[in-house]
Amino acid sequence: MKRIVLFLLVNVLCLSAISQTAEVGVFGGGSFYMGDLNPKVPFHNTKMALGGIIRYNFDQRLAVRLDGKYGKLTGDNRDFDYYSHMADSGQFNVNVLAISMIGEWNYLDYFIGSKSSWFTPYLFAGVGFHMPTLAKDQGERDNGVEHTMVQGTKAEESALKDFIFPFGFGIKLALTKRIGVNLDWTMVKTFNDDIDKQVEFTPENKQWTNGSTNDWYSFAGITLLYKFDTRKKGRCYGMDRDY
């Protein structure tokens, strides 16, 4: 884990040296889980999520960002009819911190401070790691069923289990010479079943989750950004010609 953090920090420092502009932003929105206890319904049980980003823009189409988000993920088998035949309930509450390095591609020319290139849809994808932890209410009993942590197998305890693959889409809006707003939806693929595995077995040894499938979760919301100019003075880069 320490090596991953060091790798991300070194990349941020290197990118700051070659980028044209930088942006710092705060994220607010929601997070939700999709997996064995919610295989089909996006935005079900959405909980509040917070975060922040540091973005470096290479030109009007390409950018990279360091992204950190924190949210709560919940699941409950009683929410869907295909679990109605089960007598007992299975649910979980997990807090997750996700940190990623993400590349971005703008469909249109865009930069904060432009009067003509003030809007674009964009796509993004990257790699990172996450740290899911039990929420404080996870240990509570529900209809006599105690939700407990289940030990993983040796395969699940490999180094890959902490990695995530975030990707998604959104739109960027330039509001003023220094202020911008992003609206986006991030889908996160994990490489383990540790999130809903918290409730894999009830005391009667009834299995709620499928250990052979990996979990997914998402963040969606709005990011408010402030632009900094990282270019050397006296050079013309074409990213402020419209303002």
Q: What is the pLDDT of residues 85-116, one digit of tens each?
A: 554 556 778 899 999 999 999 999 999 998 89
Looking at mean pLDDT, say which of 48-52, 135-139, 158-162 comes out highest: 48-52
For residue 13, tell me if it sits in a domain.
yes
The tally of domains found in the chain comes to: 1
Residue with token string 């006296």 = 234
State the Cα angle at 226 between 220 and 230, rounded to 5°: 120
For residue 235, tell me if it sits in a domain.
no
**Using 50, 70 and 90 to split pLDDT, how confident is the model at 151?**
very low
Residue 166 is part of which domain span?
2-229
User: HSE on the CB side for 195, CA within 13 Å?
Assistant: 34
For residue 70, tell me if it sits in a domain.
yes
pLDDT surpasses 60 at 21: yes
For residue 59, tell me if it sits in a domain.
yes
**Using 50, 70 and 90 to split pLDDT, how confident is the model at 162?**
confident
**Using 50, 70 and 90 to split pLDDT, how confident is the model at 35?**
confident
Q: Which residue has the higher pLDDT, 233 or 23?
A: 23
**What pLDDT does residue 133 have?**
84
**What pLDDT does residue 63 have?**
95
Other CB atoms within 10 Å distance of the CB of residue 167: 17
- CA–CA separation, 48 and 30 (whole Å): 4
Q: Which residue has the higher pLDDT, 155 or 50?
A: 50
For residue 200, tell me if it sits in a domain.
yes
* Residue 209: partners with Cβ closer than 8 Å, 6 or more residues away: 35, 36, 37, 90, 193, 196, 197, 199, 200
**What pLDDT does residue 209 have?**
57
For residue 127, tell me if it sits in a domain.
yes
Judged by average pLDDT, the poorest of 30-44, 88-102, 161-175, 223-237 is 223-237
Other CB atoms within 10 Å distance of the CB of residue 85: 6
What's 33's domain CATH number? 2.40.160.20
CB 77 within 8 A of CB 38: no
The structure's pTM equals: 0.77
For residue 182, tell me if it sits in a domain.
yes
**Using 50, 70 and 90 to split pLDDT, how confident is the model at 158?**
very low
**Using 50, 70 and 90 to split pLDDT, how confident is the model at 136?**
low
pLDDT surpasses 90 at 205: no
For residue 111, tell me if it sits in a domain.
yes
